[in-house]
């Protein structure tokens, strides 16, 4: 099985300006992400950047990158352009690894590609893991997913789903059983679908929840979900996250 990893990298960030170029143990974060993703066994790993400075940083560390438009509304739009630039189409498998995940599990990246290759009934794949902390279940910044009997996504939400009707009648004090699932922002696509995705009309639910993957379900397509036993290392959204990840790399655990 052959697949490509695409990493969207946007220089502008409201919470952490210049995030893709933030130094982590002597290398830009986007390079750390690419190095980690390369360990998945992908045929190639390509950064889809919106700024020449990202391309320069990648070139200095031997990472392939392509320059995409700076005005894309979403990461999916950027990846669709990257697919066109790279000549990826049809049944070609693409895994989208976010550019702020320097501790992403390479095995999880590969599993997303394998799952999509196994599931002809789905146009996308993604991952999730059980939630073990009540605070995560209640946090709207933690996206939850519920599945059908075949392991396909029924719905993604920022709300605490599934809602335990009887157990939560007097207030939410414990997690429902079975454990709710936290969605991991890692996606496998068939390149043909990824290239047509930006042309699909945004879904009302997508706009309400601010979750782009709901557009896929709203248009009647299916997403296969791999349930991992646990999550990868922390991503980087804020300066505090960056400090945490830098400390992990400083301890030597980041390259493990």
pLDDT digits (tens, 9 = 90+) for 58-99: 999 999 999 999 888 888 889 999 999 999 989 999 999 999
187: domain range?
3-232
* 242: in domain: no
Is 127 within 8 Å of 228 (Cβ atoms)?
A: yes
Contacts for 13 with CB less than 8 Å, ≥ 6 apart: 19
Does the pLDDT of residue 194 top 70, yes or no?
A: yes
Q: Specify the pLDDT at position 238.
A: 86
Local confidence band at 253 (pLDDT 50, 70, 90 cut-offs):
confident
Tell me how far CA of residue 81 lies from CA of 76, 196, 202, 209, 214, in angstroms: 9, 10, 18, 25, 21
* 32: in domain: yes
- 69 by DSSP, 3-state: which? coil
Local confidence band at 231 (pLDDT 50, 70, 90 cut-offs):
confident
Whole-model pTM?
A: 0.93
* 239: in domain: no
Contacts for 56 with CB less than 8 Å, ≥ 6 apart: none
User: Average pLDDT, stretch 157-165?
Assistant: 96
Contacts for 97 with CB less than 8 Å, ≥ 6 apart: 5, 6, 7, 33, 37, 104, 109, 186
Q: To 5 degrees, how large is the angle CA 127–CA 130–CA 136?
A: 105
Residue 67 backbone dihedrals phi, psi, to 5 degrees: -90, 125
Instruction: Tell me the C-alpha distance between 124 and 216, whole Å.
Output: 9
Question: Which letter does DSSP use for residue 88 in this model?
Answer: -
Local confidence band at 256 (pLDDT 50, 70, 90 cut-offs):
low
Instruction: Tell me the C-alpha distance between 152 and 43, whole Å.
Output: 26
User: Average pLDDT, stretch 227-250?
Assistant: 90
* 7: in domain: yes
Burial of 27 (0-12, 13-18, 19+ CB in 10 A): middle
Does the pLDDT of residue 114 top 60, yes or no?
A: yes
Q: Specify the pLDDT at position 128.
A: 97
* 205: in domain: yes
Local confidence band at 235 (pLDDT 50, 70, 90 cut-offs):
confident
Question: Which letter does DSSP use for residue 236 in this model?
Answer: -
* 116: in domain: yes
Q: Specify the pLDDT at position 12.
A: 79
Q: Among 3, 213, 195, which residue's Cα sits nearest to residue 114? A: 3
User: Average pLDDT, stretch 21-44?
Assistant: 96
User: Average pLDDT, stretch 140-166?
Assistant: 96
* 76: in domain: yes
**What DSSP assignment string belongs to 136-190?**
HHH-TTS-EEEE-TTSBEEEEESS--S--TTTTTT---S--SSPPEEEEEEEEEE
Q: Among 226, 133, 130, 236, which residue's Cα sits nearest to residue 186? A: 226
According to DSSP, the residues that pair with 144 across neighbouring strands are 157, 182
* 138: in domain: yes
Residue 216 backbone dihedrals phi, psi, to 5 degrees: -60, -50
Number of domains in the chain: 1
Is 103 within 8 Å of 233 (Cβ atoms)?
A: yes
Domain containing residue 171: CATH number: 3.90.550.10
Q: State the chain's mean pLDDT as an integer.
A: 94
């Amino acid at each position: 099985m052959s697949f490509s990893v695409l990493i969207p990298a946007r220089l502008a960030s409201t919470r952490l300006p210049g995030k893709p170029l933030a130094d982590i143990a002597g290398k830009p974060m986007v390079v750390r992400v690419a190095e980690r993703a390369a360990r998945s066994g992908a045929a190639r790993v390509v950064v889809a950047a919106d700024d020449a400075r990202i391309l320069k940083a990648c070139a200095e560390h031997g990472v392939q990158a392509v320059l995409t438009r700076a005005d894309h509304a979403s990461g999916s739009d950027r990846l669709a352009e990257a697919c066109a630039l790279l000549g990826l189409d049809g049944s070609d498998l693409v895994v989208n690894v976010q550019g702020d995940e320097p501790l992403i599990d390479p095995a999880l990246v590969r599993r997303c590609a394998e799952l999509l290759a196994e599931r002809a009934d789905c146009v996308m794949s993604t991952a999730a893991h059980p939630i073990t902390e009540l605070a995560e279940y209640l946090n709207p910044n933690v996206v939850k997913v519920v599945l059908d009997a075949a392991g396909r996504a029924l719905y993604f939400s920022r709300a605490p789903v599934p809602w335990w009707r009887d157990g939560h009648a007097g207030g939410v004090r414990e997690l429902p059983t079975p454990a709710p699932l936290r969605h991991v922002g890692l996606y496998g696509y068939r390149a043909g679908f990824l290239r047509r995705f930006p042309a699909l009309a945004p879904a009302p639910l997508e706009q309400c929840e601010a979750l782009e993957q709901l557009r896929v379900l709203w248009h009647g397509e299916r997403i296969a979900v791999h349930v991992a036993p646990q999550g990868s290392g922390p991503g980087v959204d804020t300066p505090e996250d960056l400090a945490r990840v830098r400390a992990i790399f400083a301890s030597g655990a980041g390259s493990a």
